[in-house]
């Protein structure tokens, strides 16, 4: 992400702030992720990659393209015919500003897509939980009604036995 880019912060399941971070590991260098400060040893499992994983060929191609662009810009700036005007420098600065804005908006777009996926997954999990709870409630309600019916029958039986014993005595 460029220095002028916009960052979105997420909140994890435990309520902690979970900012977008960049991995510096050998396995995932430069890859963005969102994770709780308590992950993985603080008993919070909130973690998701923001960027898709780049294969080595993509990483090499990206670095090569950046190198070539910088080389062409350096050559253009070194050319005395082009370098003489202030207008060219202004255009270069404007181009760089627009490029940074595009990168920032691209990063925000990726972050929003990932947030949308997180919310969608969370909503799906909540829907499944709601269905499970409704099934448990229905099962408990059936058991309650069956128990209530059995208690009524038992009460009627006890009343009949008591009446029979009372009438038998008299």
Percentage of the residues of the chain whose pLDDT score is greater than 90:
25
- Mean pLDDT, residues 19-35: 75
CB atoms within 10 A of CB 85: 10
Contact 115, 8 (CB under 8 A): yes
Helices (H), the chain: 56-78, 80-83, 86-169
pLDDT at 146 over 60: yes
Residues 126-143: pLDDT tens digits? 999 999 999 999 999 999
- Cα separation of 33 and 21, whole Å? 5
54: which DSSP letter?
A: P
Percentage of the residues of the chain whose pLDDT score is greater than 70:
81
- Cα separation of 159 and 103, whole Å? 83
CA 69 to each of CA 29, 72, 74, 128: distance values in angstroms, whole numbers, following the listed order = 22, 5, 9, 50
Residues 67-122: pLDDT tens digits? 788 888 877 777 666 555 666 777 788 888 888 888 887 888 888 888 889 889 88
For 142, list phi and psi in degrees, rounded to 5.
Answer: -60, -45
Contact 9, 19 (CB under 8 A): yes
């Amino acid at each position: 992400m460029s220095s002028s880019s916009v960052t979105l912060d997420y909140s994890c399941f435990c309520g902690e702030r979970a900012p977008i971070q960049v991995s510096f590991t050998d396995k995932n260098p430069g890859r963005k992720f969102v994770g709780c400060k308590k992950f993985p040893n603080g008993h919070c499992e909130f973690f998701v990659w923001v960027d898709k994983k780049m294969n080595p060929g993509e990483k090499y191609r990206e670095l090569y393209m950046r190198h070539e662009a910088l080389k062409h810009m350096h050559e253009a700036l070194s050319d005395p015919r082009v370098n003489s005007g202030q207008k060219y420098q202004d255009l270069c600065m404007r181009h760089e500003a627009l490029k940074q804005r595009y990168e920032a908006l691209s990063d925000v777009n990726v972050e929003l897509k990932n947030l949308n996926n997180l919310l969608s997954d969370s909503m799906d999990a909540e829907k499944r939980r709601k269905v499970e709870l409704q099934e448990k409630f229905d099962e408990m309600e059936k058991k309650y009604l069956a128990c209530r019916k059995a208690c009524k029958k038992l009460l009627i039986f006890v009343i009949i036995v008591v009446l029979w014993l009372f009438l038998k005595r008299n």
